[in-house]
Every structure is written in C-alpha cells, then in structure tokens.
Amino acid sequence: MRGWLIFPLLMLFSAVPIEAGEIRGTGDLGVVVERAKGSLQVIETSGNSVLGRIDGLGDLSHASVVFSRDERYAYVFGRDGGLTKVDVLERRVVARVIQSGNSIGGAISQDGRLIAVSNYEPGGVRIFDAETLDPVADIPADYGEGQRSKVVGLVDAPGNRFIFSLWDAGEIWSVGMSDPENPVTTKYRDVGKNPYDALITPDGRYYIAGLYGEDGLALLDLWYPERGVKRILNEYGKGEQKLPVYKMPHLEGWAKAGRHLFIPAVGQHQVLVVDTDNWQEIDRLAVHGQPVFVMARPDGRQIWVNFAFPNNDTIQVIDTRDLKLVETLKPGKGVLHMEFEPRGGEVWVSVRDIDRLQVYDTTDFSMLADRPAEKPSGIFLSARAHRTGL
C-alpha cells in the first residue's frame, strides 16, 4: 500500500530514491500537512523533493506535529482530538488514538518519552507514552467551583516539564513529569483574562501567553518560577479595534534574534520589537498586512513575516541588523506557513490556494523548488526533534 501507489506520480518531480522503508538518514526529512485530504506529504531537504504521502489522519485543520528524538516518528495532533504516530521512514501510521473530542496542540517531553496533548473538550491535558501511545496521565483543567477550562498554549520545557494556559480560568500551569506516575503541578492564578496561545523562548526560559480578554502579555520566567507570572507590554493588543482582526497571530511563530523578540501586532500592519532584557517595546516596523507568523532565520539575521487575508499572498523579510525591510516575495495566494532548514540557508513555504510547496534561498531569495501539494498548511522538519518548544 505505502510505496508503490504514489510512485509513478512522484517520479515526475523527484530525483532521489523514494522507496518507503529504505535505509537512510532522517535528519533531512520533514512532513507537510495537507489539510483538505487529511494527509501528510513526506519531504526531504537535501534534494528538495517529495518522498511520498501518509493518509488517514482525520481532521487536520489547525494540525501540528512534533518529532521523536531519533527523528524517525512524527506525532500529529489533529483538531478532532486524534493523536497519530507516523513512521516517516516507512511512511505509515504506527499508532492512532482519538484522545478527546476537540484538541488544539501538543508537545513532546525533553527526554522524548512523553507526548502531551491540550484539549478543549474535555478541557485539560492528556499525556501518553511516546512509544506506544498508551495513556500515562490525565490532568483535567479544573478550577473554581467544579468548572473545567479549555487548554491552550501547551509547550515542553527543560526538566521534563509541560507548561500550558487555561483559557477560561486565566491560569498558567506547569507540570513536572520527571516521575511520570506522579505529575507535579504548579498553578499560577489570575495571570490575565483568556490566554489564547503562548510560546516558550528557544532557550526554554520564558513562557509568554497572549491575552484575548485584556491588553499586555503574561510572562513566566522558568528560571525563577517562584516569582510568579507578571504582565509585560501593557500596550500589547490595545487598538486592535482600529482594524478588523482577521486572524489572531500565532504566538508559536514569535522570533527571538539576539536579545530582541519580534512579535506580530494584533490587528495592526506592524511587527513589534521587544528588548528581552527589560521587556520594553523598542520599535514598531511597518509591514504589508496583519502578521501571522513572524519567524527568525536560525542565525537571527533575518525575520520572515507572512500575513492574514487579504494580504496572504506575500512574505516580507526584515534584516535584523538595521531593522530594515530587505525583500518582498509574492509566492501566491494563501501563504500559510514557513519553515527554515535548520542551518538557515533555505526556507520552505506552503501556498494553500495554489496548491504549491515552494523552497527559497534565504541569501538571494531565488526560488529553488516548486512542488505540488494538496492545500498545504503546516510544514515541520525533523530538526525540530532537537529543539525546545517545537
């Protein structure tokens, strides 16, 4: 089933061997979510080609993916509560559980042994064995008088911790999983109204949640957890009424370059520059539309930005050296995601409305590859296995 069906089609645009189950390295592999089909495309970045497809993954709207520590397996978090473990080398589903009715993301523990999923319904976090997908722990997001909250902004953190936010409760929880039988939960209350998404900085130190219900951001410094959650950037989110907000920005995409954090303004055609030494906003950069993903090239020298509808045919690139716009690209309608190769020389772009997957050189901005894909959205390269918060 898995290799030969797609072989004739892939022959047309692949120069490398594409047999499933071959002996090969996994450091240059990746998957692309094809939302409409409920499938993943398996890609490789050495020849920028498509290797094959894995079907049967359910509802992949807003799906995300993490990788096993050996970079062989991808864990796919579907909106329908499906958690699927796929073998990227053999291109097949290894295990699949429907773990809730409505899910919004997941994470893999620092040691690679645990998969956590954050759920809307029933609200909470469920934790599974990465090997088998057997249930390990269930952490209902209970608060107040028998209420249960939707959970968002789930990330992994150093010390085998998972951190997440409770939309309804306005809380941030940190769960230590060093002993999987006995999760140790620390709760931070009254962090702000309706946290809607969060990020962890690449060094695993700062957890930052966006607040839908009020201005500013909630910051937890994991080097000093006893200091609790504080509010930063009190102006953040203010004025989002001035323009309709087409899409809440993805916090996962915030970019840290040196001491600067680049974050999408809510509802504004701006990228904000924040000094992480004092959490003050130091600049606002005018861009083409409402930013969705604001991502740093791995060396921190460039920031790549895509935009919400109706400006989602465009990518802009900012040079962090002088905070100047250096390039505007027009890949086509529906630029949904960008993923840098780990050493930053090339970047993959999904262009949903024209069913294309494109690869660009980040030095001269030339297009290096242009492949068909069915309504591609998220792109996830296996190098994420080695990173915190991805």
Residues that bind a copy of itself (CB under 8 A): 21-29, 44-46, 67-73, 89-90, 110-112, 158-160, 178, 203-205, 223-224, 258-259, 298-301, 321, 342-346, 363, 382-383, 385-388
Q: What is the DSSP string of 151-208?
A: EEEEEEETTTEEEEEETTTTEEEEEE-SSTTS-EEEEE----S-EEEEEE-TTS-EEE
Query: Residue 28 or residue 171: which is nearer to a copy of itself going by CB?
Result: 28
Phi, psi of 126 (to 5 degrees): -115, 140
Work out the number of other CB atoms within 10 angstroms of the CB of residue 138: 13
CB of 147 to a copy of itself, least distance (A): 34
CB of 61 to a copy of itself, least distance (A): 28
Query: Residue 241 or residue 366: which is nearer to a copy of itself going by CB?
Result: 366
CB 214 within 8 A of CB 196: no
Query: Residue 295 or residue 383: which is nearer to a copy of itself going by CB?
Result: 383
Pure H helices in the chain = 7-11
CB of 168 to a copy of itself, least distance (A): 31
300/312 Cα distance (integer angstroms): 24
Query: Residue 108 or residue 152: which is nearer to a copy of itself going by CB?
Result: 108
CB of 321 to a copy of itself, least distance (A): 5
CB of 276 to a copy of itself, least distance (A): 9
∠ CA 220-135-206, rounded to 5°? 10
Token readout for 378 is: 């998220």
Q: What is the DSSP string of 238-280?
A: TTTTSS--SSPPPGGG-EEETTEEEEEPSSSSEEEEEETTTTE
Residues composing the chain: 390
Query: Residue 27 or residue 122: which is nearer to a copy of itself going by CB?
Result: 27
Token readout for 171 is: 């809380």
| 189-202 as b/e: b if 16+ CB within 10 A | eebbebbbbbbbbb
147/169 Cα distance (integer angstroms): 9
CB of 157 to a copy of itself, least distance (A): 9
CB of 111 to a copy of itself, least distance (A): 5
Q: Report how far apart, in Å, the C-alpha atoms of 56 and of each of 83, 126, 286 are.
A: 12, 22, 42
The gap from C-alpha 174 to its chain's centroid, in whole angstroms, comes to 19
Query: Residue 92 or residue 193: which is nearer to a copy of itself going by CB?
Result: 92
Query: Residue 61 or residue 280: which is nearer to a copy of itself going by CB?
Result: 280
Query: Residue 375 or residue 384: which is nearer to a copy of itself going by CB?
Result: 384
Query: Residue 67 or residue 143: which is nearer to a copy of itself going by CB?
Result: 67
CB of 225 to a copy of itself, least distance (A): 12
CB of 242 to a copy of itself, least distance (A): 36
**Element (H or E) spanning 56, and its range?**
none
